């Protein structure tokens, strides 16, 4: 019999609709996932082919700052396209890292490049707020966008960003990603990376930041412009508070730390009045680096450039040049206010303003600094000035220099200018005048600043200071204000040196056998240049002639006629060759005007030439860069002193001794105020177009030039001694303040002999004498005539008949005696 089985218990029952729905949903979800995966794979394959290889980040080298350092390692300049300084992650404070994680990507350590949970949370938050309040991009996505993609808002770019983020996460550790991110992102104000941002906003390194400052930086990447603490302090503070709240929410900081940081007042780096005292020198370095290495390497590769500049000396140079140019400018009167503003509709009651500010702390304005001010009240005795939000007082004593020029052409006034001296304050300023004022001091009794009237010079100046033993340029000033004129007059301008060229003529003469005791007769002389119709008749500055003149006196008193005659005796070609040995490279005139400095030179050339005399006849090639290192610390350029003997030490010393005479009894007498041995020479060109002083002590050479760029005259009596000399003196006092007082070293081949002042020969009786220096073997052997009545006419005697030529000397070399 066939066995039968009972039917299943649910046989014949209807299936549940809910179960059917879930079954269909599962099938649909499966197909949707399958389709989504296929679409995702399609897009991945489609976009992946066009994406960059993220492995290149292993050799990540962003655009970096090239930094320029002084001789002591102080930063004096930076060159960059993107202001960035790389910081390894282990040198970035942990709390700063957490600030970025808290505000930008709290789940950074829990995702693999894309945070689906974060995207979902941001979606619902934005939906509830009906605006975009949160972003879903992870730190890795932001890094991918910054490094590889454009900022355009398109779905294709977002897909690429996600793919790149996944690739970055697959190939790099979280720490490596953070390091790349914190060094790459933009913080506004030209700053890239946390280190540059810390310096830009707070003037600090990252390890010096406080919590409130860290939160301020972490607030910036979302919108650097909107949350800029300089421009939008309220928005910045609001965003900073959000960062701190997120850090507290993530348990990175305590509530107390959060509240204290929120309440803290930020001390931002002061902007606006920052001036780089080394600007001309740094620009000189930049031009060299561009020529040698190209702009890309300069601005992007993070070079370290170590220079020869001494920062203390440079600051002294800038200060003294500016003060000297202002002193010159004041000697030539007041040109009037910057502009005049009508104040009729404004209430400028000074006394009530002072009363209102009685309880306030005044803004600290640094003494000695110059500011733009507005005259708001004035009477005959004083003027009240509104300056930088503070009140200041100008007394008449501070503006007595402000005479004005009035045009009054007359036969007895060829320049057509009469100077009118001010009698009271109202002769100089009136309410509504916008003027420049210098801060003298703050007077607590007045509750105001005491001020002095200033004006910006139109005249320019330059200074270069060189270590003669090494050739290192220690200070360089190329003009009054780099921000208004980048032209570097110390190295780019070629001007006539005037009498400052004479030491080269005299050096060539000493080398050829002349001595400081050689006498040349200062009398009129006329030269006929075949190329010119007119005859040339050189004259002295005083327009007088002085008869028999020793070379020592001629150089000290800067006698033009004697120098021209000396050049005639020595020979133009010999002088030019001698100048080349001293380092003069500019073209030189092959005529007798060379004696008076007619050939244009740079100030640095002149300083370098004088340094040979200071350095015992050895020329140290001037240089301004010691060493250049690439970002990895490899030395790519190194300069060391390059010293070569170019003239005999005896020649160098004798010229130095003659230049000491310039200081003791000649045109450079004011340099005695230096209080130590120095040597130098003034220079003044025709029509007072240029004023120079080049001088040195045993271990420092400094050259100063003053003049107008448009070749205007400096004015009558504005000689090198008056216009340039005071700058040299003030600078050298500062530069040598802590240095030992040194004498000039006398070489073994120099001897001192007592001679007759009038003839340069050995004394024969009661003549006035002094000790002169000679190269050993070239001392005079002839005695001075006792009396003219004895039949010896000194001035009719040939110089070579007065003493025998030393053994081995050139028989044509002139010695002592008149020429």
Q: Supply the residues annotated as catalytic.
A: 104, 499
> How is residue 652 written in tokens?
């160098």
> How is residue 744 written in tokens?
């000039």
Tell me the three state secondary structure of residue 579: helix
Check: CB of residue 730 under 8 Å from CB of residue 323: yes
Residue 385, strand partner residues = 375, 392
Estimate to the nearest angstrom the gap between the alpha carbon of 257 and the chain centroid: 43
Tell me the three state secondary structure of residue 94: helix
Check: CB of residue 180 under 8 Å from CB of residue 57: yes
- Please calculate the CA angle 402-724-479 and round it to the nearest 5 degrees: 80
- Give the Cα separation of 632 and 651 in Å (integer): 48
Instruction: Tell me how long the chain is.
Output: 819
Closest CA relative to residue 142, chosen from 171, 173, 175, 168: 168
- Give the Cα separation of 560 and 542 in Å (integer): 10
Closest CA relative to residue 182, chosen from 196, 164, 165, 162: 196
Closest CA relative to residue 435, chosen from 400, 480, 384: 384
- In terms of C-beta distances under 8 Å and separation of at least 24 residues, what long-range contacts does 785-788 make, across chains too? 785/759
Biggest CA pair distance of the chain: 182
Please report, in angstroms and rounded to a whole number, the separation of the first and last CA atoms in the chain: 162
Q: In this structure, what are the phi and psi dihedrals at residue 206, rounded to the nearest 5 degrees?
A: -60, -30
Check: CB of residue 75 under 8 Å from CB of residue 68: yes
To 10 degrees, what angle do helices 649-665 and 603-614 make? 110
For residue 219, count other CB atoms closer than 10 A to its CB. Answer: 28
């Amino acid at each position: 019999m066939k066995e039968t089985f009972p039917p299943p218990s649910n046989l014949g029952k209807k299936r549940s609709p809910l179960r059917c729905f879930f079954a269909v949903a599962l099938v649909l979800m499966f197909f949707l996932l399958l389709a989504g995966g296929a679409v995702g794979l399609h897009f991945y394959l489609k976009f992946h082919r066009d994406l960059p290889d993220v492995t290149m980040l292993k050799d990540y080298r962003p655009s970096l700052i090239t930094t320029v350092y002084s001789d002591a390692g102080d930063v004096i300049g930076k060159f960059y396209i993107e202001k960035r300084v790389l910081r390894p992650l282990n040198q970035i404070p942990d709390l700063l890292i957490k600030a970025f994680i808290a505000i930008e990507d709290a789940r950074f350590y829990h995702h693999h490049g894309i945070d689906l949970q974060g995207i979902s949370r941001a979606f619902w938050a934005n939906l509830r707020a009906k605006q975009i309040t949160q972003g879903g991009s992870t730190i890795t996505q932001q890094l991918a966008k910054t490094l590889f993609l454009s900022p355009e808002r398109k779905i294709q770019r977002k897909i690429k960003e996600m793919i790149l983020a996944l690739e970055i996460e697959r190939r790099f550790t979280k720490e490596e990603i953070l390091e790349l991110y914190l060094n790459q992102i933009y913080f506004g104000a030209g700053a890239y990376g946390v280190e540059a941002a810390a310096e830009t906003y707070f003037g600090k390194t990252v390890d010096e930041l406080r919590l409130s400052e860290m939160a301020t930086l972490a607030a910036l990447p979302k919108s650097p412009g909107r949350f800029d603490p300089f421009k939008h302090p309220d928005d910045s503070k609001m965003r900073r508070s959000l960062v701190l709240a997120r850090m507290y929410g993530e348990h990175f900081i305590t509530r107390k730390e959060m509240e204290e940081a929120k309440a803290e007042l930020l001390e931002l780096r002061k902007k606006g009045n920052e001036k780089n005292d080394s600007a001309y020198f740094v620009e000189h370095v930049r031009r060299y680096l561009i020529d040698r290495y190209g702009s890309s390497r300069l601005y992007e590769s993070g070079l370290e450039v170590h220079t020869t500049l001494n920062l203390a000396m440079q600051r002294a140079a800038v200060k003294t040049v500016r003060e000297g140019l202002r002193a010159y400018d004041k000697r030539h009167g007041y040109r009037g206010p910057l502009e005049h503003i009508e104040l009729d509709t404004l209430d400028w009651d000074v006394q009530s303003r002072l009363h209102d500010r009685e309880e306030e702390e005044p803004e600290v304005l640094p003494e000695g600094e110059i500011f733009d001010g507005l005259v708001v009240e004035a009477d005959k005795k004083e003027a009240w000035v509104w300056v930088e939000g503070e009140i200041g007082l100008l007394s008449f004593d501070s503006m007595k220099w402000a005479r004005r020029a009035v045009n009054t052409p007359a036969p007895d006034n060829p320049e057509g200018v009469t100077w009118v001296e001010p009698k009271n304050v109202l002769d100089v300023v009136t309410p509504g005048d916008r003027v420049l004022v210098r801060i003298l001091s703050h007077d607590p009794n007045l509750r105001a600043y005491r001020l002095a009237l200033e004006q910006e010079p139109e005249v320019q100046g330059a200074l270069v200071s060189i270590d003669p033993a090494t050739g290192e340029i220690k200070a360089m000033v190329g003009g009054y204000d780099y921000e208004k004129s980048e032209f570097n007059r110390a190295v780019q301008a070629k001007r006539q040196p005037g009498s400052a060229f004479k030491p080269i003529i005299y050096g060539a003469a000493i080398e050829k056998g002349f001595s400081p005791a050689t006498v040349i007769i200062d009398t009129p002389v006329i030269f006929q240049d075949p190329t010119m119709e007119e005859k040339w008749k050189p004259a002295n500055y005083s327009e007088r002639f002085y008869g028999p003149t020793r070379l020592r006196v001629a150089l000290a008193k800067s006698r033009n006629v004697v120098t021209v005659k000396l050049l005639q005796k020595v020979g133009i070609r010999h002088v030019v060759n001698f100048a080349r040995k001293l380092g003069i490279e500019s073209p030189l005139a092959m005529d007798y005007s060379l004696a008076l400095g007619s050939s244009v030179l740079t100030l640095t050339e002149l300083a370098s030439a004088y340094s040979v005399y200071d350095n015992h006849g050895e020329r140290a090639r001037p240089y301004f860069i010691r060493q250049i290192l690439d970002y990895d610390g490899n030395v790519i350029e190194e300069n060391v002193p390059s010293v070569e003997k170019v003239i005999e030490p005896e020649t160098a010393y004798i010229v130095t001794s003659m230049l000491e005479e310039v200081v003791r009894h000649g045109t450079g007498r004011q340099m005695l105020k230096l209080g130590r041995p120095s040597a130098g020479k003034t220079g003044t060109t025709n029509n007072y177009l240029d004023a120079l002083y080049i001088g040195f002590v045993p271990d420092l050479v400094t050259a100063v030039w003053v003049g107008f760029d448009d070749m205007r005259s400096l004015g009558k009596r504005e000689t090198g001694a008056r216009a340039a000399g005071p700058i040299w003196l003030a600078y050298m006092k500062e530069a040598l303040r802590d240095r030992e007082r040194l004498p000039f070293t006398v070489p073994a081949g120099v001897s001192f002999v007592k001679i007759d002042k009038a003839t340069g020969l050995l004394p024969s009786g009661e003549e006035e004498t002094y000790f002169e220096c000679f190269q050993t073997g070239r001392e005079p052997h002839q005695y001075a005539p006792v009396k003219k009545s004895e039949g010896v006419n000194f001035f009719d005697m040939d110089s070579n008949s007065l003493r025998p030529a030393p053994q081995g000397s050139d028989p044509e070399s002139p010695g002592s005696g008149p020429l």
